[in-house]
Amino acid sequence: MELLNPGGSIKDRPALFMLQEGLKSGAINKDSHIVESSSGNLAIALAMACKIYGLKFTAVIDPKIASANLQMLKLYKANIHMVSEKDQNGGYLKTRIDTVKRLCEQLPNAVWINQYANPNNWKSHYFGEAEEIINQIDRKIDYLVIGASTSGTIMGVSRRLKEKFPELKVIAVDIVGSVLFGGTSGPREIPGIGASTVPPLLSPDEIDDVIYVDDYESAVGCRELLEHEGIFAGGSSGSSISAIKKLIPTIPEGSCVLTLLPDRGDRYLDLVYADEWFEMIKKRHFNRNLRRQENLTLQNVV
């Protein structure tokens, strides 16, 4: 239930940890101007943490950011730089990163936190929620199912849990349209899961399997969480729930499956919980499956 963190998401952990470690090492000081690329949650977490430490902060975001997240950044009085040009894979990640690099050359005392390659990203989860899970759970964990994006969460949590549970199977959840694990790039609507560029933090050899879900399946997972558990969770939480539904028929009965719910649902009122948007991606989902079935039928005929 990482959605209960002060900033509303799991990104509170790496934001605070990366800042604190930077201050300890001297890479960040009281005059530093923090600059970072984000799809939303880390930007909010950094805006909050920078307020605490009295640091300037510039968030480099893109048009896919949830309107609620954008409004929160404005309330935190973060400097906002919105990119508009997509990268070669149809996303905005590379464009955001290139913009961060350019801003760091222009802004006095600029420091790029670099969540995509900063080892303190995954370490925040290793020493944070992974340690808390070990202290709180009273049984063996068989499967860890976590959505991947920057990969800090899945790398940090899995590394610590595997020390405690060596036979743990690590299952990454990726979104259709993401290139993280060799998938074909394509349109993606839900921020916070998947990527259009493979981040340096990702270590595929440490992942046992990948389960793909699409935007519609993720939205269904969110709505089922709300309907059956009363949990108002964000888009990537629904991705993990739908992935677990696909996993369950393939694993032994009685297995213990662990997942995390990264953020709150109120940031997705105009996406996951908007009926018009839901119907749009529902049509896209069934049209994609229909084309896949037609292609399989054609291959069988040939």
Per-residue pLDDT of 159-171, as tens digits, reads 999 999 999 999 9
The answer to whether 196 and 93 are in contact (CB under 8 A) is yes
Confidence of residue 241 (pLDDT cuts 50, 70, 90): very high
> What is the distance between the alpha carbons of residues 280 and 297, in angstroms, rounded to a whole number?
26
Per-residue pLDDT of 124-145, as tens digits, reads 999 999 999 999 999 999 999 9
At residue 289, does pLDDT exceed 80?
no
The answer to whether 192 and 39 are in contact (CB under 8 A) is yes
Angle between helices 152-164 and 119-127 (to 10 degrees): 40
Helices (H) and strands (E) in the chain, counts: 10, 8
Question: Shortest CA distance to 214 belongs to which of 188, 196, 237?
Answer: 188
For the residues 111-130, what does the mean pLDDT come to?
97
The count of C-alpha atoms lying within 13 angstroms of the C-alpha of 252, restricted to the half-sphere facing its C-beta, is 7
Sheet holding 79-82, edge to edge: 79-82, 56-61, 33-37, 110-112
Enter the DSSP assignment of 185. P
- Which amino acid makes up residue 88? Q
> What is the distance between the alpha carbons of residues 281 and 220, in angstroms, rounded to a whole number?
11
Please tell me the least confidently modeled range out of 44-53, 68-77, 156-165, 283-292.
283-292
What is the per-residue pLDDT for 294?
Answer: 47
For the residues 32-46, what does the mean pLDDT come to?
95
The count of C-alpha atoms lying within 13 angstroms of the C-alpha of 17, restricted to the half-sphere facing its C-beta, is 22
Q: Which residue has the higher pLDDT, 184 or 300?
A: 184
At residue 263, does pLDDT exceed 60?
yes
Give the CA angle between residues 128, 162, 155 to the nearest 5°.
55
Structural domains for the chain: 2-118 (3.40.50.1100), 120-285 (3.40.50.1100)
At residue 293, does pLDDT exceed 70?
no
> What is the distance between the alpha carbons of residues 119 and 167, in angstroms, rounded to a whole number?
24
Per-residue pLDDT of 188-230, as tens digits, reads 889 889 988 899 999 999 999 999 999 999 999 999 999 999 9
Q: What is the DSSP string of 164-181?
A: H-TTPEEEEEEETT--TT
Please tell me the least confidently modeled range out of 1-5, 8-12, 37-41, 113-117.
1-5
User: What average pLDDT does the structure give for the chain?
Assistant: 92
- Which amino acid makes up residue 50? C
At residue 298, does pLDDT exceed 60?
no
0.75 surpassed by pTM: yes
For the residues 66-90, what does the mean pLDDT come to?
90
